[in-house]
Homo-oligomer: A and B are copies of this chain.
Amino acid sequence: MLRQPYLLFLGDAPDALAAKVAQGIKDWRPDVSVGQLRLPGCKADMGLKEMSVAEAAAAGAQTLVIGVANRGGIISDAWMAVLVEAMEAGMDIAAGLHTLLKDQAPLVAAAQRTGRQLFDVRLPVFKYPIGEGKMRSGKRVLAVGTDCSCGKMYTTLAMEKELLARGRKATFRATGQTGILITGGGVPLDAVVADFMAGAVEVLTPPNDQDHVDLIEGQGSLFHPSYSGVTLALVHGGAPDYLVLCHEPTRTHMRGLPHYPSPSLAPLRPLAETLARVVNPDCVSIACSINTAHMSEADAKAYLAKVEDEMGLPATDPYRFGAAKLVDALP
């Protein structure tokens, strides 16, 4: 677990998209950052208080989180100076970069000197057990999708927020680097060794209060040949009671695979349910979460109505219309 609160480091982000991790933290954990630190030329802005390292330390920041992708895989000298300064001011450093913090000699030296920690959240930090396929108390929701990057993380974060707003017990369970940085903990499932994937998900979603709901971030897709094994480990390790079916209807081919036409939503339901019931015989699909970002509002509403009709399940776009309908679908 990352120590909170954060100082959100935006570096020299060339545009808002480069700072999408920071945006996620801002959107979903607005109170977790004491402020933001931007370098000259930074074009991203989370609207947080601008702070120097010293000001952030004085405000109680425990971890500097790198909320921006670095350019060209190199951590520049300008970044390095800030990161070292943060450790000297008592902060840990956390990042989900391809370039690992622990491979940067100046950062490793500063961490040793200051006793602070470097968290590369792309890498597992725990030796996970083999999965046991045991049912646990409490309820678990898993987002499954027709493709990668179709809104699964957003869907489960939005459901967590809505549940908490209603006074329910709920926890988003991060399974990817962005989710881990947003919430401060989780399992970077795509970096776990194959034999331990399901066990890692079991550790992530332990027995809980009967009225508690885990919202498990999905990964990949059962239909995505590159990552389907990771998805199935989530379906079995997560032992979900409820599935939310996620889809991006304007996509023409699967992400990263131009030779694969995108699957439709309908076949996802029986496949995901059949597999989920291996572990949890009572698992049911409760709703569809549709990413309508590339549709007009009228088209989106018409499409959602069509999905409800065809799938026999409530359907909404939680980004556009809120997650209430998804939470209402929970028994």
Contact = CB atoms under 8 A, between A and B. Distances in A.
Contacts of A259: 133-134
Interface stretch (A46-54, A185-193, A286-294): A185-193
A261 to B, nearest CB: 11
Copies in the complex: 2
Q: Which of A190, A228, A236, A274 has the most CB of B within 10 A?
A: A228
A230 interface: yes
A133 B256 CA distance: 10
Contacts of A225: 131-133, 198, 236-237, 278-279
A39 interface: no
Contacts of A231: 229, 232
A271 interface: yes
A194 B236 contact: no
B229 A229 contact: yes
Interface in A225-274: 225-233, 236-237, 256-257, 259-260, 263, 271, 274
A223 interface: yes
Interface in A138-189: 189
Given A191-B194, A193-B194, A195-B191, A226 B271 contact: no
Contact of A226 (B131, B191, B222, B274): B131
B226 A232 contact: no
Nearest to A263: B278
A133 B257 contact: yes
Given A131-B226, A225-B236, A229-B232, A195 B190 contact: yes
A226 to B, nearest CB: 4
Contacts of A198: 225-229
Contacts of A35: none
A194 B229 contact: yes
A166 B165 CA distance: 69
A259 B278 CA distance: 12
Given A193-B191, A194-B189, A232 B237 contact: no
Contacts of A131: 225-227
Q: Which of A191, A193, A195 has the most CB of B within 10 A?
A: A195
A192 B193 CA distance: 6
- Sorted nearest first, the 9 A-B pairs with minimum C-beta distance are A133-B225, A229-B233, A229-B229, A190-B195, A225-B236, A131-B226, A232-B232, A229-B232, A194-B230
25 contacts: A130-B226, A130-B256, A132-B225, A133-B225, A133-B226, A133-B259, A189-B194, A192-B193, A192-B194, A194-B197, A194-B229, A195-B227, A197-B229, A198-B228, A222-B278, A223-B278, A228-B232, A228-B236, A228-B275, A228-B278, A229-B230, A229-B232, A231-B232, A232-B232, A271-B274
